[in-house]
Chains A and B, each alone.
Chain A
Amino acid sequence: MKIALKLAWRNLTGAGLRTWLNVLVLSFSFVVIIWLKGIMTGWDHQAKTDMTQWEIGGGQYWHESYDPYDPFTLAGSHAKLPSQLENAMKAGDLTGLLLTQGAIFPEGRMMSVVIKGLDPGQSILKLPSRKLGTTASAIPAIIGNMMAKHSKLKAGDYVTLRWRNANGTFDATDVLITDIFSSNVPAVDAGQIYIPLATLQEVMLLPDEISLIVLRDKTDGWNEIPGWKYKSKAELTKQVDEMIKTKSAGQTVLYFILLLLAMLAIFDTQVLSIFRRQKEIGTYVALGYTKQQVVGLFTVEGSMHAVLAALLSAAYGLPFLAWQAKAGWTMPVDTSEFGMAIAQTLYPVYSAGLVIGTVLTVTITTAIVSYLPARKIARMNPTDALRGKLQ
């Protein structure tokens, strides 16, 4: 093996440009695969962090009738804070939200919205709820960027808000947009308007009633409560995981193409080598190598491309990947329309497993691709090989 490594190194360095072109292509695959995987992991990480901070906290309790995909359930899905959670509420470990259907009338148009009553003093969600604590002539309200864009509202604007209270009576008032927040989580932005919880409870004639309870992150010991459905953080982020998995599957095609390109270069070099270096193969055999050892030598030679590529990748890829992790990758298009939790700038996250896994995958694949054409050597007649007579 030591001799094979030594000879392979001499053969590769001696082959000059051909070797370095292959190594460059292969190293490009290394870097791109790690970068793309890093982006996916970063996105996953970022999406979960954003969702945790903006929407789901450390988990939620839903009123048993609440179904986020069915707005008609909102009217009946509310109840008082269960007594089991009163202490946690006092400790500030949870906050309640009341949800109802409604409509706003910006510039005379009607837009359906979900009105969310939010405690201005809460600190569990990143929503700028303190802006709901301002005293003004109208009810203070906050909306997200996407909502502001679609409704053409801006901070300081008044807009008419209409709802239907617990008795089924329509009511309306002007609200003042006190802040427009920027979030990567569409679920807290699109079609949502936030007003103070107490105000919404009052106008809805639902004193102290809430639809869902958001728990502070990194708290535990939450149990099932009758009348409420406990949703863990993992359960609430499951969709993101599934979406990332789907995206990852799509990207696997790209990895496959990249690997295929690199492997094609290696395979081509190996096939060419075996035809062009017949005399050399015959010479190795004449000097005392067995044919299997020559197969081994060619396989090591091919595999060594991957080792050199890994070193080259480390040389230019590490600085690039480190810079990307710091500066991030800014998407060329507006991501707010994507309908999923995605930031405008994604910061790739690399793990040791990702780097080692990629290096191992590419190296093993290269070894296999190098071995396949090299097997032909075992079938060569050394006397024909010496004369370069094989076709």
Chain B
Amino acid sequence: METQTIISVKEMYKRFPMGKTEFTALENLNLDFAQGEFTGLIGPSGSGKTTLLNILGSLDVPTLGEANVLGKSIGKLNTHEAAMLRRESLGFIFQSYNLLAVHTVFENVEFPLLLLKIPSQERRKMVQEALEWVGLSDKIRSKPPQLSGGQCQRVAIARAMVKKPKLVLADEPTANLDAANSHHILKTMLTLNQELKTTFIFATHDEKVISYLNRKIYLLDGRVDKDEVVTHNK
């Protein structure tokens, strides 16, 4: 079956000013990502995983080269267009969950739908569905401080998935979780990847995450060290 390329990175560089010199975080990257991938950007700290994820998420721009995400050239988007891309097509999962602490689980998951101006009734239905995917339907009125780390990350997954985005970017999603919770989260994301054909790109160096990936891109000092496709039955 032919798969559609949704991300294309060509000869991309990212440099950060460091005093009077520059630090090169990404160097001459050339990568393509197809729809439905469950891919990991793997590497030690400082290898450029998060920088690449931020650029793909239109939170940052490349210094040189091209990063095309869902047909949009990231470097050429203005702030409003970048926000629209994130709002409509991207989901984010963060290491420390980044939930809105004073909002309930329902309100946290509802947030992306509010931005999309989805009518209240439909919104409610979609939030409930997302919370069912992650098994938190009974925590609808709880607030993040009342939840465990694993539950918080499941809420974050529900928030990322509720609008059924084409692409989910997850930055070290299991870093603050124990093994059991990590596996639970990863299985949930894998199921959503298979059922909704959502592309997942992880930035990780966690072996548990790596074992679930069907494509592993190893980064070292801002360059692609190895890019391998794996087939396994999880």
List residues of chain A with CB under 8 Å of any chain B CB: 3, 6-7, 10-11, 13-15, 279-280, 282-283, 285-293, 381-383, 386
Contacts and interface: CB of A to CB of B under 8 A. Distances in A.
B212 interface: no
A386 B98 contact: yes
A386 B115 contact: no
B59 A287 contact: no
A285 B83 contact: yes
Given A3-B114, A285-B59, A386-B94, A14 B103 contact: yes
Interface in B86-104: 86-88, 92, 94, 96, 98, 100-103
B107 interface: yes
A288 B115 contact: yes
Chain A interface main SS type: helix
Nearest to B159: A287
A129 B112 CA distance: 81
Interface residues of B, number: 29
Given A3-B114, A10-B103, A14-B103, A288 B96 contact: no
A386 B59 contact: yes
Contacts of B54: 383
B100 A280 contact: yes
A386 B92 CA distance: 11
24 contacts: A6-B114, A10-B103, A11-B100, A13-B102, A15-B102, A279-B98, A282-B98, A283-B100, A285-B59, A285-B86, A286-B57, A286-B59, A286-B92, A288-B83, A288-B84, A288-B86, A288-B88, A290-B79, A290-B83, A292-B79, A293-B83, A382-B60, A383-B54, A386-B98
B18 to A, nearest CB: 15
Give 7 nearest A-B pairs by CB, closest first. Answer: A14-B102, A288-B87, A283-B98, A290-B83, A286-B92, A288-B86, A288-B115
Interface string B95-133: 010101111000100011011110000000000000000
Contacts, number: 71
Interface string B64-91: 0000000000000001100110111000
B114 to A, nearest CB: 5
A136 to B, nearest CB: 82
Nearest to B79: A290
A289 B115 contact: yes
B165 to A, nearest CB: 10
A292 B100 CA distance: 19
A3 B100 contact: no
B107 A383 contact: no
A288 B117 CA distance: 12
Contacts of B107: 10
A15 B103 CA distance: 10
A386 B95 CA distance: 10
Contact of A290 (B60, B80, B111): B80
Given A10-B107, A386-B59, A386-B94, A286 B100 contact: no
A286 B87 CA distance: 8
A381 B112 CA distance: 21
Contact of A382 (B59, B80, B115, B159): B59
B93 to A, nearest CB: 10
Given A382-B59, A383-B54, A386-B59, A287 B101 contact: no
A293 B50 CA distance: 25
Given A3-B114, A287-B86, A382-B59, 10 more contacts: A6-B114, A7-B111, A14-B103, A279-B96, A287-B87, A287-B92, A289-B87, A293-B83, A383-B50, A386-B98
A6 B115 CA distance: 11
A105 to B, nearest CB: 80
Contacts of B159: 287
Contact of A289 (B83, B102, B103): B83
Contacts of B79: 290-292
Nearest to A287: B112
Contacts of A285: 59, 83, 86
Contacts of A288: 83-84, 86-88, 112, 115-116
A288 B100 CA distance: 15
Most chain B beta carbons < 10 A, residue from A13, A283, A287: A287
